[in-house]
Amino acid sequence: MEQKKILVTGATDGIGKQTALELAQKGIHVLVHGRNKEKSETVAALIRQETQNPNVDAVQADLTDFKEIKTLADTVKSRYNRLDVLLNNAGVFENERVILPNGLERTFMVNHMAPFTLTLELLDLLKNTPGARIVNVSSMAQSGSIDFDNLNGEKYFDPYNAYAVSKLENVLFTYKLARELKETGVTANCLHPGVISTKLLHAGWGIGGADVHQGAQNLIYAVVSPEMEGKTGWYLMDRSPAKSAAISYDKKVQERLWEISDRIKNQFL
């Protein structure tokens, strides 16, 4: 049987790095994504060395840049004939409003627009891989509402609100995506990784949390466990189906976010 290939975004640090390491220990072909080429290659080399798994590759893209996201997708499609799992793990918490050169606020771009864009750019490859999975790392810190006139923090910006809205967007996107892919055999799920001691947790909440190994278990379950085979449109907490924010089930809200996101993506690609 051909070796499974899994792309982990944000895999040079925190939960992503630990997940990539533990997947490589299972003999899986792991694509370690990072923003910085040098760091991605260093982490991939360390994982190869530690796991004695030669199939750990570095891939690079700055997730604040649509062109780099597209280049990442094109690179993966040209190098590999299959992609079993796309794990959209990368995320940021910004303590102040940062507007990128493309005009988008950084939290919205990295936490929502980047996984939205990368997923759609890789869909053909995923559809050609039997039993492929898409897993989006959300959070229990989901907003209970979304203001479509403030996606960019135009009217007001609060760090916690921006983060919580972006994590709601991950769930809205997952549920709509699961419906879109219903007949293709590709599943789409999202999860809360746990309150894990990472740079993001320290930046946003100034507290420590559980060990990254614990967070990685939640990701690995969604990514490779036989129990999740064929399951789609789920939000997971502690490896079990859970209730996401009430608004996340509103199909009109899901559709509107998708339309706006697609329009933004198409402006740049």
Catalytic residues: 163
Whichever domain contains 151, its CATH number is: 3.40.50.720
Dump pLDDT digits (tens) for 40-64.
999 999 999 999 999 999 999 999 9
Dump pLDDT digits (tens) for 63-77.
999 999 999 999 999
Over residues 255-269, mean pLDDT: 97
Domain tally, the chain: 1
Dump pLDDT digits (tens) for 211-226.
666 778 999 999 999 9
pLDDT value at position 203?
52
Residue 8, classed as helix, strand or coil, is strand
94, pLDDT greater than 70: yes
Phi, psi at 91, each rounded to 5° = -160, 160
208, pLDDT greater than 90: no
- Range of the structural domain that residue 179 is part of: 5-268
The CA-atom distances, in angstroms, between 72 and each of 17, 119, 156, 212 are 18, 11, 33, 26
